[in-house]
Amino acid sequence: MDYDKKRVLFEKLRNFFNDHNHDKKSEKDSEIFITLYRQFLDEDAHIDWSSWKHISDDVQKNASDIPQFDPKREDVINKVVVLKLNGGLGTTMGCSEAKSFIEVRDGLSFLDFAIAQHNDFNRKYNANVPLYLLNSFYTNKATEEKLKAKDAKGIFTFEQSRCPRIYKDTLLPVDDSEWGDDAWYPPGHGNIFESLVNTGTLDKLLSEGKEIIFVSNIDNTGATLNLSIAQFMIDHDLDYIMECTKKTSNDIKGGTLIEINGQLMHLEMPQVPPENLDDFCSTRVFKIFNTNNIWVNLKAVKQRMPGIKSEIIVNHKKVRGKDVIQLETSIGGCIKNFRKAYCMHVDRERFRPVKRVEDLVVMSSNLFKVNDDHTLQLRGHHIPAINLGVFYSKIDLKESRMPHIPDLLEANSFTVIGDVSFGKNVKIKGDVVVENTKSQQVKIEDNTILNNERKVFA
């Protein structure tokens, strides 16, 4: 793009913000977006594929090989704070409110599990580790109301930035006089560092003697506070740790770690040249991926801000029938700002996200049990491959068709094609496909056992 066109775009962008900046937060948010916008216009979205290498051995470690936490190390507990990323809505599963409000099992939501796990940890260690929630403008008010209703103690919230969506064709902000909140978006979890600074939360935590912040997605119930990792980070004076786990065919879109010019870099799909996407998705080329369980040294953040940057993620969306762009960053992408960064290989049990209704069915089923500390433990040896089809694409569709989750303990794979509902005490064994080619719904009756079969209703 030539200089004159960029100049015109920036002039119109600044005019937009002059009309929309009404307080200090909106002014700071506009500065953040202008920085993202400049990156978007000036930087190549794709990496030079010939420039990367696999990460070297001296920046990675298996969590099973590090020293176990020493219970006498109260200094470790006193320096740690937990943060859950709570900015997202459950829209991909048909939920219009905060994703953290979705019920997982036993009447408990993701938010309930996060609070319960945190309280159990503090009781176990007689500690007062604080729990923070990074909310977005979508989730902030409703989350604070939930916390007040629950009379939750030792839990704090702060709100990340709000940025304007831009039209794909004009690259100018969407008119919020017509779209309201749909004209805006939270700019990804890479915004955590600016939000920590702009809300005063970073200085507050440092003044309280906190040095290590453990960040994870609130829908990942496996992301509990691991004091062995915290101890390792403190003892080795590290700035940043990314937990990674083995990549499977279910994780082909997940980010991974590479090295470019001797520096760790988080590589995500939008940064991959189109001709190299097959390599990126391959479990042969890339064997690990980012769980988004991230540990960061708060002193290092203080030293590096406001200079912490991440590659732009250009997120294309269709909103109200219009093609729009969201400019985002990720907390994983910020790893390149920290000299003493590490990759920690962890077991799959620390990565239990819920992205689809099928994931929710798995977590709600008898494949898992809830331990006394509110961690979810897998009962069997593996999680079956489950595909329930379009009639289960939203939570309300699942609730009406599968009010009782089938027994999946002996299942290897379970596929539903067409409109099928399930009664009570249904059991799935081995590889099962249920297909309905009729236009009207069919039902698998109570107490049915489906064992290594393809059941077709035609």
Q: Which residues are catalytic?
A: 355
Residues 6+ apart with CB under 8 A from 65: none
> Would the annotation count 189 as a binding residue?
yes
Q: Give the integer Cα–Cα distance in Å for 61 and 344.
A: 5
> Would the annotation count 355 as a binding residue?
yes
> Would the annotation count 438 as a binding residue?
no
Q: Give the integer Cα–Cα distance in Å for 286 and 53.
A: 11
First to last CA, the chain: 57
> Would the annotation count 188 as a binding residue?
yes
Q: Give the integer Cα–Cα distance in Å for 271 and 311.
A: 8
Helix (H) or strand (E) holding 8: helix 3-20
Q: Give the integer Cα–Cα distance in Å for 403 and 386.
A: 17
Residue holding tokens 């005063």? 200
Give which of 5, 326, 8 is closest to 168, Cα–Cα.
326
Q: Which two tokens stand for residue 321?
A: 């029938």
The sign of the CA dihedral 270, 272, 276, 280 is negative
Residue holding tokens 């939008």? 270
Amino acid at site 97: E
Q: Give the integer Cα–Cα distance in Å for 374 and 204.
A: 29
Residue holding tokens 């702060």? 158
Helix (H) or strand (E) holding 185: strand 184-185
> Would the annotation count 99 as a binding residue?
yes
Q: For 272, which DSSP code?
A: S
Binding-site residue ranges for UTP: 99, 160, 188, 219, 355
Binding-site residue ranges for substrate: 189
